[in-house]
Structure 1
Amino acid sequence: MSDFKLKEDTSWLDNLRVIATISVIFLHVAAPFLYKFTKISGFNWWTANVYDSLVRFSVPIFVMITGALLLPKDYQLNDYLKKRVVRIIFPFLFWISIYSIHVLYLLKNGFKLPFLQMLTIGSTTFAYRTTYHFWYIYMIIGIYLFIPILSKWIKNAKEKEIHYFLLLWIVAIIIAQPLFSKYVPDFNLQYFAGFIGYVVLGYYLSIRNFENVKHIKAIALLIFATGVLLTVFGTYFLSLISGRFVIDLYTYFSPNVIIAAVGLFLFFKHINLANPIWKAIRKFINKHSFGIYFIHILVLFYLNKSGINGAVLGPAFGIPFATLACLCISGLMIYLLKKIGLAKVVG
């Protein structure tokens, strides 16, 4: 285990969180254009395809950061549940109420919802339509519940045991791909096929020492570029064959997205961003990133109603512009909500 070293400075993970926060907004701004394959100009569709492919790492990176930060620690179960899980539950309940009330108001110009339905709204089809980005919150709550158990195993695991877990995870992902699923026996590897693999991967890459690898930053960028290019061109050719947009290579468990996430993770691990302006931006976004994730879909909705979306000045300029506008407004709103005493519920 001499090749393992836990970095005391975790600012590189903060840098990654900032990039992932911006990227998830960018992804949601670009996505609508992709479903207009053959219905919009080739240039506009390709622009959205390239943009979206560049940021598909966003959710995997969030989960990898979770593994890198939480798995090395020791936990007392009661304290952990209070500090970690409860800290997610209150913002979740607050924002799902806000989104649900908002959509009911839009649909009915007012709302009437039975009390019992309000209690179960988080698991209904209606809730998914109103808060489609909340799938991530459901997933991360499940991961947080599992962290204390996983932490005890991974800190006592040998390197080859971690390799074994990650190998099974990769195999489970590959055999689940549409390209292979018809030709591979139906092995039941579902327990290795979820986001928990990203948690373990993030932990492993964060403590694995790559300092002796020559040109590690260039290699990391090459890995990232390979994953992105596979996504860009693979998606185009699959869509061309089908005559419609095919999302298969955009999923968070497609091998190309994993490759891109690994490359970006390693690249940020080995660079030092010391610019004072970047440090100030990093501090602000990191402090409010959870709330920004919750609110950004609502902000995008009203920006779009105001005519500010990815189509403004064309997707090439409109997607970055709408992303920046959404980021700034979302960050400001979370900052102000915290200032008026809602810090515990806005995220």
Structure 2
Amino acid sequence: MSATVETSNLNWTTNLRVLATISVIFVHVACDILYKYGNISNFVWWTGNVYDSIVRFCVPIFLMLTGALMLNKKYELGDFLKKKFSRIILPFLFWSFFYVLLALRDASLVHPEMSLLEGSKLALNLIATGSSFHLWYIYMIIGIYLFMPILSKWVQNANEKEILYFIAIWVFTLFLNQPIFREFRINVDFTYFAGFLGYLILGYYLSIKSFKYDVKTLKQISLLLFFLGIIVTIFGTYFLSVAENRFNEYFYGGLTFNIVIVSAGLFIYFKNSKISNPVLVQIINFINTYSYGIYLVHILVLRFLVSLGIDYDFINPVLAIPITSALCLSISALIIYCVNKLPYGKYISG
């Protein structure tokens, strides 16, 4: 299925990437509420649940955009690994250093007798496994990038039926992982069709697929998928949490069917939408330029804001979550912008 995303109309991918970047911050501002299930008011918990459920598409959308923009290109293995990994690894290592320092400081407060050797072992372990919880995505994307030159060649030489065959089995494995279907599993190994790789194929396919509907109808279908998935996420999370008398985050998982349809719906909607306001376009382009760095640094900024008492409950959480997210986004973008202006800053800013 050799096709490409139209290079003359890629603004929608920029818009979608910026929305995903903002959504990551929303997730991390709101998520602390959810683990306090039973210890906070129902109103506060439901506020966090609704906000968090709405924006759980962020990582899948990042991956779908990666598939849409990268799988249609031909790569020389050496050049690909050199260019892509230098762009990912150097900023990742730079900002990981600060998260390691924070982790060492926290550990020393709990264990003031910690030796230099113990501190060094902890630092190395943090680099190997993740010095901050949000960096799991970077480790995952590194693994996907290693496979990208191979995957892109298969996609470009596959026909539509073969691509749909992969997507169909991938979706089938997601169904098998739903709690209600686990007792019906068969002893067939679907490992090679499982995981986040399916989002790349899905993103590529949806980016080049021309559906036999007008734009209005496509938008209506995509919004139906989006809101259906969100409703399942919100109420599925609530009912599982009630049943277990503790927060259950199953329906928040990126590999659940409800998140797949939310992400697919949003992807199709943005592909068929335009943003023309010049001020908004400038803001979007600015955030897009520094989106990777914003992702890397935003947890540092959130920790700083929390230390100032600015988090999900400094006022009513309905307002506190978006205000805190906006502050975090603005400060993170400013930090990355300033770092980028330093000599060689572009190599570490992200």
The alignment status of 1:88 with 2:93, answered yes or no, reads: no
The alignment status of 1:217 with 2:219, answered yes or no, reads: yes
Q: What is the match of residue 133 of structure 2?
A: 132
Q: What is the match of residue 153 of structure 1?
A: 154
**Does the Cα contact within 8 Å between 2:104 and 2:123 map onto a contact in 1?**
no
Q: What is the match of residue 258 of structure 2?
A: 256
**Does the Cα contact within 8 Å between 2:29 and 2:325 map onto a contact in 1?**
yes
Check 1:171–1:329 CA distance in 2 against 1; reply closer, same or farther (3 A cut): same
The alignment status of 1:346 with 2:345, answered yes or no, reads: no
**Does the Cα contact within 8 Å between 2:16 and 2:270 map onto a contact in 1?**
yes
Q: What is the match of residue 123 of structure 1?
A: 128
Q: What is the match of residue 58 of structure 1?
A: 58
**Which residues of 2 match residues 280-291 of structure 1 at below 5 A?**
280-291=282-293
The alignment status of 1:34 with 2:37, answered yes or no, reads: no
**Which residues of 2 match residues 260-279 of structure 1 at below 5 A?**
260-279=262-281
CA distance in 2, matches of 1:264, 1:287: 21
The alignment status of 1:97 with 2:81, answered yes or no, reads: no
Opposite residue 175 of structure 1, the aligned amino acid is: L
Check 1:117–1:302 CA distance in 2 against 1; reply closer, same or farther (3 A cut): closer
Deviations 1:283-335 (A, max 9, x none): 11111000000000111011001000011212111100100010000000011
CA distance in 2, matches of 1:17, 1:93: 23
**Does the Cα contact within 8 Å between 2:5 and 2:68 map onto a contact in 1?**
no
Structure 1 residue 131, shift from structure 2 partner: 0.6
Q: What is the match of residue 193 of structure 1?
A: 194
Q: Secondary structure at the match of 1:39?
A: coil
Structure 1 stretch displaced more, 58-67 or 172-181: 172-181
Identify the match of residue 237 of structure 1 among 236, 239, 249. Answer: 239
Opposite residue 122 of structure 1, the aligned amino acid is: I
Check 1:116–1:45 CA distance in 2 against 1; reply closer, same or farther (3 A cut): closer
CA distance in 1, matches of 2:37, 2:121: 42
Structure 1 residue 102, shift from structure 2 partner: 2.1
Structure 1 stretch displaced more, 97-106 or 177-186: 177-186
Q: Secondary structure at the match of 1:307?
A: coil
The runs of at least 4 consecutive aligned structure 1 residues that moved more than 4 Å come to 113-120
Q: TM-score, normalised by structure 1?
A: 0.94
Q: What is the match of residue 302 of structure 2?
A: 300
CA distance in 1, matches of 2:90, 2:327: 27
Deviations 1:148-194 (A, max 9, x none): 11111101101110011001111111112222223312321111111
Opposite residue 66 of structure 1, the aligned amino acid is: T
**Does the Cα contact within 8 Å between 2:4 and 2:72 map onto a contact in 1?**
no
Q: What is the match of residue 163 of structure 1?
A: 164
CA distance in 2, matches of 1:193, 1:242: 27
Identity across the alignment (%): 48
Structure 1 stretch displaced more, 157-166 or 85-94: 85-94
Structure 1 residue 119, shift from structure 2 partner: 4.7
Check 1:103–1:5 CA distance in 2 against 1; reply closer, same or farther (3 A cut): closer
Q: TM-score, normalised by structure 2?
A: 0.93
Structure 2 gaps of 5+ residues are none
Structure 1 residue 45, shift from structure 2 partner: 1.0
Opposite residue 293 of structure 1, the aligned amino acid is: Y
Opposite residue 282 of structure 1, the aligned amino acid is: I
Q: What is the match of residue 204 of structure 2?
A: 203
Check 1:90–1:210 CA distance in 2 against 1; reply closer, same or farther (3 A cut): same
Opposite residue 128 of structure 2, the aligned amino acid is: S
Opposite residue 62 of structure 2, the aligned amino acid is: F
Opposite residue 201 of structure 1, the aligned amino acid is: L
Structure 1 residue 97, shift from structure 2 partner: 1.4
CA distance in 2, matches of 1:92, 1:19: 21
